Amino acid sequence: MKLTTNQFVRIFAGAFVLISLALGVEASPVFVNANFLWFTAFVGVNLFQSGFTGLCPLENILRKLGVKDRY
């Protein structure tokens, strides 16, 4: 199964949100520091702005690595 840049962006964003929440929420068994929640906010703001501007750093990186936009 070949993934597109859009699919990779969604996978990375979801993974980073889940990881940063696990590391930043005190109830988590892998809690490190509440400041990890800033990373969750960064991912959310980046997704929000990319919806309006179409600018996504990860998408640009993936294209340079040869990942296709479509199948």
Does pLDDT of 70 surpass 90? no
Look at residue 43 and tell me whether its pLDDT is greater than 80. Answer: yes
Domain positions in the chain are 5-65
The answer to pTM > 0.95 is no
Distance CA 64, CA 71 (A): 16
Q: Cα separation of 66 and 11, whole Å?
A: 17
SS (H, E, C) 23-42: HHCCCCCCCCCHHHHHHHHH
Task: Calculate the average pLDDT of the chain.
Answer: 95
pLDDT band at 54 (very low <50, low <70, confident <90, very high): very high
